[in-house]
């Protein structure tokens, strides 16, 4: 469906709801959230003093997150609008105009975003880098533990190589705490509540769509 066809569909619909997230994507989001929170808790609670047997839950959750991320990448590339999450020239122009206005300028008003605004896309890119870093290094670190499926073999890499793998895993994991805090903050802000609600229900209202999104940049469908 083209953007213009979708706009006809939206304009002619009797429904007051615009689909934002399919059930499968909402399920992915919340499963990923559960995995990330579990992984951060099992990683850092023992470090700050809450000692428990963390390794089994940590690596199994890590494998689950790896599978989820793989499914998400395949879905994003094949079935979803991959480019809807990529920063484009309009996002950069709008970002510059927002910044200029925030600093007191009187220039051209920024345009409205498509499905995602520039900062959301930037956040997604950051999360993607951090999660992929922890997933890749975490999968390599599985070579250092015995599991029901394989025996440990840490000798495939030199000590200094393992050191850098642990460095990347650790820094990315700590940065995920910062990103998670920011994500929860924005999810709880009243002016962003429509987006949080859409991650539960899957839709935003037609009015929210018209007030916050550019119809030419988001081929939205009715719910």
Partner 1 sequence: MQLFRYSTSIYGGSDVLIGASWDLLKWFVVAGAVIIVLHAAVKAVTSAAG
Query: Which residues bind to partner 1, rule: CB under 8 A?
Result: 44, 47-48, 102, 159-160, 162-164, 166-167, 169-171, 174-175, 177-182, 185, 191
> Which of 36/220 has CB closer to partner 1?
36
How would you class 207 by CB atoms within 10 Å of its CB: exposed for 0-12, middle for 13-18, buried for 19 or more? exposed
In the complex, minimum distance from the CB of residue 7 to partner 1, in angstroms, rounded to a whole number? 31
Q: Structure tokens of 202?
A: 């899957």
Shortest reach from residue 18's CB to partner 1, in Å: 25
Nearer to partner 1, 23 or 48 (CB): 48
Query: In the complex with partner 1, which residue's Cβ is closer, 67 or 182?
Result: 182
Q: How far is the CB of 175 from partner 1 (least distance, A)?
A: 6
Residues 21, 202: contact at Cβ < 8 Å?
yes
Nearer residue to partner 1 within complex by CB, 140 or 180: 180
Give how far Cα 99 sits from Cα of 10, 92, 102, 103, Å.
32, 11, 5, 6
In whole angstroms, give the CA distance from residue 135 to residue 189: 30
213 is written with which tokens? 């999104």
């Amino acid at each position: 469906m083209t953007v213009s066809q979708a706009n006809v569909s939206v304009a002619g619909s009797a429904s007051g709801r615009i689909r934002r997230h399919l059930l499968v994507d909402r399920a992915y989001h919340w499963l990923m959230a559960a995995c990330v929170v579990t992984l951060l808790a099992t990683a850092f609670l023992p470090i700050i003093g809450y000692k428990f047997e963390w390794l089994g839950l940590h690596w199994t959750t890590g494998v689950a997150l790896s599978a989820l991320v793989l499914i998400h990448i395949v879905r994003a590339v094949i079935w979803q609008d991959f480019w809807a999450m990529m920063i484009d020239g309009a996002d950069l122009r709008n970002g510059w105009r927002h910044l200029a206005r925030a600093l007191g300028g009187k220039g051209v008003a920024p345009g409205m975003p498509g499905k995602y605004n520039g900062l959301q896309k930037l956040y997604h890119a950051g999360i993607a880098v951090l999660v992929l870093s922890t997933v890749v290094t975490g999968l390599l670190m599985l070579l250092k533990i015995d599991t029901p499926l394989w025996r440990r073999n840490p000798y495939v890499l030199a000590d200094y190589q393992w050191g850098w793998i642990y460095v990347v895993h650790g820094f990315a994991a700590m940065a995920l705490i910062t990103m998670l805090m920011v994500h929860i903050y924005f999810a709880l802000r009243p002016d962003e509540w429509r987006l949080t609600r859409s991650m539960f229900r899957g839709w935003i209202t037609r009015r929210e769509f018209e007030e916050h999104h550019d119809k030419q940049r988001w081929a939205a469908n009715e719910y």
